Amino acid sequence: MAAVALISLCLTVGLLILSFIFKAAGKLRLTIPLLCFLLFSTVLNKWAVEHETLAHIILFSLLGLTVLSWIASLIKAIRRKRDEKYFEDDVAWQIRRAREMGVPLDKIQFNAQGDLLDPRTGEPVVYGDGVPFKDI
Q: Flag whether pLDDT at 132 surpasses 60.
A: no
DSSP conformation letters of 42-102: TTTHHHHHHTHHHHHHHHHHHHHHHHHHHHHHHHHHHHHHHHHHHHHHHHHHHHHHHHHHT
pLDDT of residue 131: 55
Tens-place pLDDT, residues 43-84: 999 999 999 999 999 999 999 999 999 999 999 999 999 999
pLDDT band at 104, cuts 50/70/90?
confident
Percent of the chain with pLDDT strictly greater than 70: 93
Domain assignments of the chain as residue spans, ordered by start: 31-117
